[in-house]
Homo-oligomer: A and B are copies of this chain.
Amino acid sequence: MTGRLSALQRGKRLQRVTIAQVAARAGVSTATVSRVLSGRGPVSAEVRRRVRRAADDLGYQVNHAARALRNSRTDTVGMVVPSITNPFFTSLVENVEHALGREGKELFLCDARSDPEVEARRLASLVARNVDGIIVSPSHGTDSGPAVQATADRLPLVQLDRFVGGTNTDWVGVDDVAAMRQVVDHLHAGGARSAAFVGSHLTNSSTEQRFAGFRRRAEELGVAHDPAHVLLGDYSVDWGETAAARLIEGGGLPDAIVCADDLIALGVTRACRAHGVPVPDRVQVTGFDNIEFARLGEPALTTIDQPCARIAAEAVRLLAAAGARGDGERGASAHIALVPELVVRDSTRAPATTG
């Protein structure tokens, strides 16, 4: 077996082919090769054919480092998310990756571990790597500010989903307030006259906006929302379980529990089940994001569907636009708030008219 291995398999790796080698084989200069391969500049059909042939024969591939140095463009985009294990961010990453792939760009993925310091380091690293632009969902509503702004001063930058105050960059996400309005309307229609809110600490825009939207609509509709029924922790199933247990054991369980994301909601429904509290009959529960597992909950979660594909597409488009504008003037920053859709499943009650 070993005897049959080619020289290649035994050891030496393939040598990289440069433009100079292609030029030599085609009997032209490197300038001409570059012109043929990039399609810029006039080249006779005959030479074009020879160069293509030579490049194919040699298996030429551009050296992106050299090109990046010369063009100061890397065809690479950096993305920083608080936690890639949150399925919502996973979905965003997936969609951004696909959108970039369509333009021949590559994705540098960074996980900030919900820590603004790690986040700042990752951003700096991306800048040093000359990415063409950065897509970031900031971990913290204020602490992420300096690093995000400093980065935006050097590169096109788009904030996704969450945003940080005091910065002046493009943003794409959903209209959290409008979303919560739909949620509260739906719960109210299902008979809820009091509601709790379970979110993460108010240190990021998602929770802030969602809570604000919740409160505003609850007040408009006269849905009671006791301050003691606002529980803040983090975006996790565990926190959802803890919070729900606290609500149940504390007595005075409201008619509905509005959660700032699906992970929390999954934890809440789980705790309800464990405590023998029927959902939605005793308490209605809603999530946010519509992650894949939302429909797998027991009962399946009513939630807000985030249009991840569109969010990603818009973000990539904004970056491309910023890149095209060049390093020169930056216009007013774009704020694109998509209106999300309520997905009704089994964790909430049908409107009172039918029930």
Contact = CB atoms under 8 A, between A and B. Distances in A.
Contacts of A63: 69, 128, 130
A114 interface: no
A34 interface: no
A12 interface: yes
A125 interface: yes
Contact of A168 (B9, B124, B293): B9
Interface stretch (A105-113, A204-212, A341-349): A105-113
A68 interface: yes
A11 B273 CA distance: 55
Contact of A327 (B12, B69, B106): B12
A108 B111 contact: no
As for how many copies of this chain the complex holds, the number is: 2
Contact of A129 (B106, B155, B273, B329): B106
Interface stretch (A93-101, A217-225, A247-255, A277-285): A93-101
Contact of A296 (B8, B94, B293): B293
B85 A91 contact: yes
Query: How extensive is the interface on chain A, given as a class?
Result: 35 or more
A125 B126 CA distance: 19
A82 to B, nearest CB: 12
A65 interface: yes
Nearest to A156: B13
Contact of A85 (B76, B128, B292, B327): B292
- A-B pairs, top 9 by smallest CB distance, nearest first, are A65-B68, A109-B109, A11-B329, A13-B327, A65-B69, A61-B128, A298-B298, A64-B129, A14-B154
Interface of A: 5, 8-14, 61-66, 68-69, 72, 74, 76, 84-85, 87, 90-91, 93-94, 97-98, 106-111, 124-130, 153-155, 168, 237, 266, 270, 273, 292-293, 296-298, 327-330
Given A8-B153, A69-B69, 19 more contacts: A11-B329, A12-B328, A61-B127, A63-B128, A63-B130, A64-B128, A65-B65, A65-B129, A84-B90, A85-B87, A85-B292, A93-B109, A97-B111, A98-B111, A107-B108, A270-B296, A273-B298, A296-B297, A298-B298
